[in-house]
Structure 1
């Protein structure tokens, strides 16, 4: 039987404060790293992951996924924001300039399923604040969520020194913390931790799923 060791959330609302805020103008190095990170995201990525489920399921499952990532136009980004009730015009010029948007479509083969899982969503990342030690924070938007078929507005942080994006999404039953660490132009590491959503939404610690994976960029498709 697989056991799950509690993993501390990447963002614990009740426990973790942010460093002092600085202006976007004084964080050009962080914003350049942010832009470089997303420039590497486009293309075809092959992912091999292992998921561990907490009791009572207490099972382990492998999966293979091929992602296709294409940049969105400014008009498409505006549409994603509008789907979530926000407008491009409501953001500052610096926010608009440093917003990144993508269409992500993927095919997944789960070890326990005979049929492939196919999905597609549009995403937009809008930075809201820059902090000391190269940390950017903001909101990210999807026109279709993964866990639930509805538009999603959630939060992200980006650690420039580690080239690591962390997305924290509150769904009805779980809080999903998804980290993508860029190792080089063609390799990234993935960690997904789902927590049971607490009634007060102030902290989350009960793990229901942990996923680990390595993802490589290239022309060959792992799943097709």
Structure 2
């Protein structure tokens, strides 16, 4: 089993990703191929992301977050080509902060009311699950920084990330099948106006990700 920080260490490196996307509203199906490079970020980059996180209203134990191995940060560069010929290149950073470093979530405590059932946050006395907040300095479907909730399950070696965009809610689950193979599922919902879990699915994606030996 991979501990929480070991999971993120295992995620670093170069990956080749093949995905299939389904769009239920139209019935369309699309395939894509992605090359991705994932690396850990520096302490200075953590501080920068943390300042953006606290600007959202969350209060955190800043010094511990910057130095703690249980607060991993990654920089992710990827280039995607779809079978239709469209391309997308992004380079963004993400910081993960477990709940025990959160002093006050402020307004964002209400986010949990909109977490879909497939991303429900299980907890147990054995501490085999870890939940918290994460920040991306650039979103995928909308520009600008985005905030989300994450949930790591030790025994399944899986990380579930629920990202709250203005118009949608995306649930992204990553499972480490082997040290060099990840399985990925992505479900994007239309975000409801009320503080209730979403039900209208806009996209479902499935992927296999293979780590490249340098």
Same fold (TM over 0.5): yes
1:106 matched to 2:78? The reply is yes
Query: Hey, which bits of structure 1, 4+ residues long, moved more than 3 A?
Result: 86-90, 92-96
- TM-score when normalising by structure 2: 0.81
After superposition, the Cα gap between the structure-2 partners of 1:67 and 1:191, relative to the gap in structure 1 and judged at 3 Å, is same
Please state whether the residue corresponding to 2:11 is helix, strand or coil: coil
Choose from 86, 89, 96 the match for 1:118: 89
Choose from 15, 29, 38 the match for 2:8: 38
Deviates more, 1:84-93 or 1:142-151: 84-93
Q: Aligned-residue CA RMSD in angstroms?
A: 2.3
Q: CA deviation at 1:113?
A: 2.5
Which has the higher Rg, Structure 1 or Structure 2? 1
After superposition, the Cα gap between the structure-2 partners of 1:173 and 1:86, relative to the gap in structure 1 and judged at 3 Å, is closer
* Partners of 2:99 and 2:63 in 1: CA distance: 12
* Partners of 1:86 and 1:184 in 2: CA distance: 36
Deviates more, 1:120-129 or 1:62-71: 120-129
Deviates more, 1:95-104 or 1:63-72: 95-104
**Bigger helix share:** 2
Please state whether the residue corresponding to 1:161 is helix, strand or coil: coil
Aligned to 1:127: 98
- Answer whether contact 2:50 2:62 (CA < 8 A) is retained: no
* Partners of 1:147 and 1:89 in 2: CA distance: 27
* Partners of 1:214 and 1:120 in 2: CA distance: 21
- Answer whether contact 1:78 1:87 (CA < 8 A) is retained: no
* Partners of 2:213 and 2:80 in 1: CA distance: 17
Aligned to 2:187: 193
- Residues 45-64 of structure 1: matches in 2 within 5 Å? 45-55=15-25, 57-64=26-33
Q: Which runs of 5+ in 1 are unaligned?
A: 1-29
- Answer whether contact 2:96 2:133 (CA < 8 A) is retained: yes
Please state whether the residue corresponding to 1:40 is helix, strand or coil: helix
Please state whether the residue corresponding to 2:208 is helix, strand or coil: strand
- TM-score when normalising by structure 1: 0.77
